[in-house]
Structure 1
Amino acid sequence: MWLDAPGGAAGDMILAALIDAGAPVERVRDVLDALHIGGWSMQQTRTMRCSIAATHVRFQPTGAHATAATATQPPAPAHSHAHTHSHAHAHNHAHVHAHSDGATTPPAPGEEQPFEDQPHRAFRDICTMLEAAPIPATIRARAVAIFERLAHAEARVHDTTPAEVVFHEVGSVDAILDIVGVCAALDALDVDLICCGPLPVGRGFVRCAHGRMPLPAPATLYLMEGWPTVPGLDRVEQVTPTGAAIWVTIAAATAPPEMVVESVGYGAGARSFDDRPNVVRAVLGRRSKPKPTTAVTTTLAQVDDMPGEHIPPLIDALLAAGALDVTITPCVMKKGRPGMRLEAISRPERADQVAHSMLRHASTFGVRQWQSHRTELERHHQSVETQFGPVRVKVGTLDGKELQAAPEYADVAKLARQHEVPTSRVYAAAVHAWHLLSPPSTSDE
């Protein structure tokens, strides 16, 4: 996947682009419902930005939240970015509010209303909420990694520690839904490589509760350290901290991948610019040249003093850091002590992040790494119909021949819960449906 930001990047724009490119919106809703936040509705509309058709996604407060949001919503700044700016503050830090450059106008039609009545949330509280939610581990790990990166940036701005950071706008309901929604959409699309392009950097100043603040916002600038940028617009916050955190966390590279384009999605911001489309563009594709053999880096450590309950969060952290696979193998260490062999494989460009994650989350004092090659089947997904509902099947091919087919467990588990049947029944039904669609060839050896 290639993500491009000609107009800027905010959480809702990225989510809208992924949905427009093919991420099933119901899968996203299911994950967001599992957070048990309540008081919101997801609205998806079609709009135009510089004559380009795009999807616009926004989260609206409902019920008592809608009443409070309407009562407390301040006028929108005339030149501000359409998206809520994300700030955080330490316990001893004053609240930081949305930017304004002085002149104000009524909110534009269809512009987002923030969840003003929501409490501020500490980074650790958001992590606790995500850990308690019955969502896939890969989605949880990626969301925690995004919030962790945000917490580190805000801690640097306010000279505190990530543990003490209390999010304001980032902790509001719509920002949490943006981040987890993006993670859910990426999980549903099941892409194996995400590349994100340069980010536009606005310039000038905007006014906020602390006076004139430079653009980009301080936290956004810390998040973009080491990331390529291009000149942006005057007095416009084109990239929010939430958007920047998502962008730099999910990306494995900054250059467009070599691929055959299969789907394109546009996610619109709430405002229109005169000289450029205010969109994020998501491009999905498959490798243009089959590359069954790829370079991978193995990161290894052995431990004999790590409690078993610490293993699941370690696996989540390694996957969020970019590991393609993680294995834990029992072993016997020096002096006959039972231990565990921790092994993660990743692409070489993510090897440092995986190593740092293993050092942070495991009890080891060091890791070993080496590069090798991995031979893979080409893969694609196909949906099959069963008596329980549709199930995606991952298909592996070699030289054009289908060799493997495996139903996606997330689809199987969801249908099993809905119909109150064992997962094995749904799995078997999906396999049977697949064989009816693709009978084995008599020429296969």
Structure 2
Amino acid sequence: MHAHGGSREGLKLGAGHGKTLFFDAPSGLAGDMIIAALVDLGVPEKVVTNAVALLPLKGFHVHFGTRERSGIVATAFDVHVDGKQPERTYGAIRKMLDASKLPRGVKERAQATFRKLAESESRVHRMPIDDVHFHEVGAVDAIVDVVGSAAALEYLGARVVVSPLPMGHGWVKARHGVLPLPPPAVVECLHGLPTYDGGLAFEFVTPTGAAIVAAHAEGSAQWPAMAPERTGWGAGTANLRDRPNLLRVVLGEATSMVPTTTHAVLEANIDDATGELLGHCIDALLAEGALDAWVVPMTMKKGRPAFQLCALAPLAQADDIAAVMLRESTTIGVRRHEVARVTRPRHVEHVATPYGTIPVKVAAGPFGPPSRKPEFSACLAAAREHDVPVRAVLEAAIAAIGAAPQPKALPPTATTVPKRKVKASSGEKKRPRPRARAS
């Protein structure tokens, strides 16, 4: 591996707002490849290293370099471990991240990634999620990959779309013994995302790589409708016989509104539940990952007053959210309608007010002037802190928004094909394995 040249001009903070970041992964992906590709795209190396430095971890150092694959010079990222590292439970990692000084957005992304892994391993090993014991995925290099990728994705702020992912065959040796490829945790993580036979006895997608895309990708497409602006390449460690072991990331503007089925509307008619129970159901559906949940009054047969409980969910999460609807309400059946969804590109800005800095949701695109809305929960917290009515904070935030520069309009964003919303079962670096070797 060669030293990293670093000649590419770096991207600015928020350069991906309102844009699509496409993970093109015909050779699969791993945590180190994702970080390498994002840095090659233009995310400054210090975004990754500064985030990792905020963790209470010792006995390692990181290195950026380059590798050449089929004439393409790609960035490589390695974590060098200087000594033995302790194995960690999901609960220990979650507490470590909670106690860290990572920025909130980075912390939330890292927590979402590790929760995907923990949920997957919990299902595989049939044990409570907090008791899940990470092996390879609890090692320092995997923690660095998760936190480093979270920092890079948060820095860009783009919506993520991933290509269908190749699955290898054969066997891999892990702490629990010999496991089939793809590893069980990978299959669990990728629920709802398209996969296909990769044709080699090789671990194309690692548990860390699977968890990162499962936690952050909004959908999957062979290639999204976009105007590419910038490309980055991340190199894997193994040499594959039939393709370059590379991950390509492409940042660009969405170019059209593709009417592709992306979400599901779930609904149930209920005539035997109280208002308190239905309110709880809404909270439970939103907590599970529903994009919206609501209740509509109606009249059923024999004139019985009733309600329709509804939720909007990404396709990959529809089954889980339907299960919550069945578990938490009194219904005995849930209907499902698949729909397409067109959205305005959105991001968050922060404005200064006499009551502190308030986050503001901004929705842009070619749909007229951008809409801006102060985050109500932040306004409510500021109002309580300063002992003023919440409407005073809202009015101050709206006035500050009006004084801010107006951003240019952005093209429409088309949501593509679905995304869903641990003793680790396999190794985390993409390298040939005994009985699973790419020649």
Structure 1 CA distance, aligned partners of 2:133 and 2:262?
41
- Deviation track 1:195-243 (CA, whole Å, cap 9, x = no partner) reads 332224154x5666777665544544665687322112x5x54432222
- Deviation track 1:228-284 (CA, whole Å, cap 9, x = no partner) reads 22112x5x5443222234345545335332332233222222445565322222223
Counterpart pick for 1:139 among 86, 90, 109: 109
Counterparts of 1:98-109 in structure 2, within 5 Å, are none
Q: What is the CA distance between 1:348 and its match in structure 2? A: 4.6
- Deviation track 1:380-414 (CA, whole Å, cap 9, x = no partner) reads 7799999xxxx999561336xx51165998xx99x
Counterparts of 1:350-369 in structure 2, within 5 Å, are 350-356=317-323, 369=336
Q: What is the CA distance between 1:17 and its match in structure 2? A: 2.3
Counterpart pick for 1:244 among 195, 198, 210: 210
Counterparts of 1:394-433 in structure 2, within 5 Å, are 394=362, 396-398=364-366, 403-404=369-370, 406=372, 432-433=403-404
1:260 aligns with 2:230: no
Structure 2: runs of 5 or more not aligned: 1-20, 298-306, 353-358, 383-392, 410-439
Structure 1 CA distance, aligned partners of 2:230 and 2:24?
14
Q: What is the CA distance between 1:52 and its match in structure 2? A: 1.7
Match of 1:8 in 2: 28
Distance 1:57 1:392, change over 3 A: farther
Structure 1 CA distance, aligned partners of 2:223 and 2:212?
18
Match of 1:336 in 2: none
Structure 1 CA distance, aligned partners of 2:159 and 2:139?
30
Distance 1:142 1:223, change over 3 A: closer
TM-score by length of 1: 0.58
Contact 2:66 2:74 in 1 (8 A): yes
Counterpart pick for 1:56 among 76, 88, 95: 76
Counterparts of 1:169-248 in structure 2, within 5 Å, are 169-192=136-159, 194-203=161-170, 215-217=181-183, 219-220=185-186, 227-232=195-200, 234=201, 236-248=202-214
Contact 2:52 2:144 in 1 (8 A): yes
Give, as a single letter, the amino acid of the residue that structure 2 aligns with 1:48: R
Structure 1: runs of 5 or more not aligned: 61-68, 73-115, 332-339, 417-421, 440-445
Counterpart pick for 1:434 among 398, 405, 408: 405
Structure 1 CA distance, aligned partners of 2:263 and 2:175?
48
Distance 1:313 1:14, change over 3 A: farther
Instruction: Give the secondary structure class of the aligned counterpart of 1:255.
Output: coil
Structure 2 CA distance, aligned partners of 1:392 and 1:398?
20
- Deviation track 1:162-202 (CA, whole Å, cap 9, x = no partner) reads 55431111122331332344344444444445233222415
Match of 2:118 in 1: 148
Of the two structures, which has the highest relative contact order with CA contacts closer than 8 Å and spacing of 6 or more?
Answer: 2
Contact 1:292 1:376 in 2 (8 A): no
Matched length: 355
1:288 aligns with 2:247: no
Distance 1:381 1:6, change over 3 A: same
Q: What is the CA distance between 1:47 and its match in structure 2? A: 0.6
Identity of aligned residues (%): 30
Contact 2:173 2:179 in 1 (8 A): yes
Q: Which moved more, 1:170-179 or 1:181-190?
A: 181-190
Q: What is the CA distance between 1:147 and its match in structure 2? A: 1.9
